[in-house]
Structure 1
């Protein structure tokens, strides 16, 4: 077993352990559970229906302004749950009772199961400033008014990665004491407990002591969480760890996982396949906003569901992914519920802003008796189709298309119960020709007055074939905000600028050029962008 001292990314792949032969049943001989509960190693919801977590982590405590939209976007992409990062106030700004109540309300409004975790415990004993599980319990008691009565919708994850590699042997007693205090304080929720060793449990401390910790819970309502990163880089390691819980009928969750990590390359295919085979749930890390060298773990760029990263495409749309395997909790009317009526098909899409490598699709909205929650765009290949993107809007920007090629796309609608509409009629478009590498040049001339500037941009085709339809991409040096543009449509995202042609500037003949301009405000530091690409091909600078 590999040992690592590198921090896990903070994500939680939640997995509810199961057996393959024992069906989930509701409680009969005892009083009904108030909410989620564990039975025979399975996580059941308040209706006694088996529930498998399929969701994503969201860093609410660092990006609170994004949370409302993020929850809606995750639901539209097919998730049935969200693990939400909270702070006790010891390392980051505290998420108080009112804020936690708003998060819970947002989960419920989007028919998501809310897994709430206290992040300040990360790496306790090794990470400077990290707090103990006991201090995390103090926080849960402080925000109890936002949680009690929400047992049908909320799982409480006591503390993220509550021990590093130093002093991890204390995990068992610390976790037992935390569970005992929560129950004594009247928490009837399912409690989730993370493994030590930065969540990866390479020492098997949680694996070996899980029976004693589970028995210490008077409600027998604790779920175990392992975070799978570099330690789990083979299918054999993934399967052995998860099966060790399943065969003992102990509920386990894979707290965090990604497609890559600084401590090694986790086998995400094996993790997702094992979760599907064993009937276990997962929550991938993480929606967006990663930093500190693990930006590659973002599932979406800039919290934008229309800009899924390769990792996001894999998790949501790949084999054993969220779209394929997620089922809504029955407490929201999902699996085992009554809503089986699909939405109507969306209207026929329209393609605009077609360039060599991209296009904009828009379509008339679908209708549904309980409300449409999102749309899935697919590319058609004869009688087959592949997923392209998902969105809550009635439009999507497509990128990465092949130049001078005919493409066909169609759209599906989804409702809150996961029902999918019939497919829309198809739209067919032909992408423009694109420049070959090294066959374009850009001149960028500044008129700078300190607090702002105008830029005159000339794009020259130095090749032998016309460019029909173009997009010029470049990054401003920083602190500039585009106010207006002429002879091109200009969109800014952070420092990145995307300029696309107007109808009268669409074609750049061989040896010819087009010209456009933009006006921007500035906080200083104006200069010429370092690089330019035209329809994805790098251009020389004049």
Structure 2
């Protein structure tokens, strides 16, 4: 851990002028630190988190995930830990996690999951207990300020009395600083992280003021509350107006109309230089939110492609931290194993020209007895207000559940209709929907047809 005396600030002024011009706080920065609304490295380089969550505490043997996450182009991994609500992660285990992050050139956001839903979930720990857990790990955390941010407690208050969040968080921040922690601190919102009652939005200043090092960033989790673009932008606008630092510490995707508008999250985060961390790499009981299935990089999901691909995705926008010797741009290494091709080539329906649509069916992942599919729907030469895609399976496959479309089946015939948020498409514009299915013996790609209104 580097300690820079305040007395040296005048001598360092010329070297750090660029950072000071942005509003550098009165203390000397140690490692990752907040300047204004942004996060910076110790050398004054701005750092924007682009990465994913990894459920380490429940899958401690899945250490290859760090290399696989890095191979996507991510620059950050948020690592789930437990101090005792689940099997506790020991100091030696946490030290190994940090080593894995550093070896794979990932900034490590360590979070204590024990606090999830306190006040509503009787098993949840308090933020004070979470602070005690971090204090018990101080020997392996101290000196890692360049590489590690500490997310004191995941989603620390449920929907029962969320107002308690302010005092509890202020006390936890003070306890961390009183015990000598100089790390960047990350603070989750109440309401299971979603702040739908705006407690963090309205009281965040008290938390920021409690930090004597002025090195705290607030974190919002965006799930079902953030189904509309307007809800997302208005929340982010409120923090911009207040001048508070914010990251999107978790978010999912819109697998039905009641879920988060993930593409607006990505676009707004990129526009505003806000960090975002998708949930999660693998291991969810509902695989809808898995980026890869069964921790297998050959089984990339629709959510994977939505998060990593495209102009606002991780692969295009992540920049590696300069502490790892990079130039500030991401240069992901090759994956440890390349993805396998679908069992069959994609099938497409022909374009029907004006006021029509086409569809392309692709198997995005397959495993014994199951598979994941995606269908891309593209409007013809004119805008459409709704679409229907149909296909017939020849090998007994069955669609079990779907997102982004209302899917029904009649024997071997499958019909998928748009949901309310993706029916209207401009000329040549596209959308997609996904599904999980089962198969036995053969999983041939069927021919598809698309009709539009």
> TM-score of the superposition, structure 2-length normalised?
0.72
CA change 1:103–1:263 in 2 (3 A) is farther
1:36/1:46 contact within 8 Å kept: yes
Q: What is the aligned partner in structure 2 of residue 79 from structure 1? A: 74
Q: What is the aligned partner in structure 2 of residue 304 from structure 1? A: 296
Using the alignment, how far apart are the partners of 2:182 and 2:159 within structure 1? 31
Q: What is the aligned partner in structure 1 of residue 266 from structure 2? A: 272
Secondary structure at 2:218's aligned position in 1?
strand
CA change 1:182–1:31 in 2 (3 A) is closer
Secondary structure at 1:225's aligned position in 2?
strand
Say which one has the larger Rg. 1
CA change 1:140–1:329 in 2 (3 A) is same
Using the alignment, how far apart are the partners of 1:38 and 1:118 within structure 2? 21
Shift of 1:243: 1.6
1:24/1:50 contact within 8 Å kept: no
CA change 1:534–1:200 in 2 (3 A) is closer
CA change 1:314–1:404 in 2 (3 A) is closer
Q: What is the aligned partner in structure 1 of residue 394 from structure 2? A: 438
Using the alignment, how far apart are the partners of 2:157 and 2:257 within structure 1? 17
CA change 1:437–1:266 in 2 (3 A) is closer
Structure 1: unaligned runs, 5 residues or longer:
1-22, 343-372, 376-390, 406-435, 442-528
Q: What is the aligned partner in structure 2 of residue 535 from structure 1? A: 444
CA change 1:28–1:256 in 2 (3 A) is closer
Shift of 1:130: 0.4
> TM-score of the superposition, structure 1-length normalised?
0.60
**Which of 11, 15, 29 does residue 33 from structure 1 map onto?**
29
Q: What is the aligned partner in structure 2 of residue 328 from structure 1? A: 320
What is the number of equivalent residue pairs in this alignment?
346
1:229/1:261 contact within 8 Å kept: no
2:395/2:443 contact within 8 Å kept: no
Secondary structure at 1:106's aligned position in 2?
helix
1:233/1:265 contact within 8 Å kept: yes
CA change 1:302–1:249 in 2 (3 A) is same
Aligned-residue Cα RMSD (Å) equals 2.6
Higher strand proportion: 1
CA change 1:440–1:182 in 2 (3 A) is closer
Structure 2: unaligned runs, 5 residues or longer:
1-17, 349-391, 398-437, 448-453
CA change 1:438–1:398 in 2 (3 A) is closer
1:43 aligns with 2:35: no
Using the alignment, how far apart are the partners of 1:440 and 1:158 within structure 2? 49
1:123/1:163 contact within 8 Å kept: yes
**Which of 61, 65, 70 does residue 65 from structure 1 map onto?**
61
1:295 aligns with 2:251: no
Using the alignment, how far apart are the partners of 1:58 and 1:106 within structure 2? 12
2:287/2:293 contact within 8 Å kept: no
Alignment of 1:314-393 (within 5 A): 314-336=306-328, 374-375=333-334, 391-393=335-337
Q: State the 4+ residue runs in structure 1 displaced beyond 4 angstroms.
A: 23-31
Using the alignment, how far apart are the partners of 2:347 and 2:108 within structure 1? 46
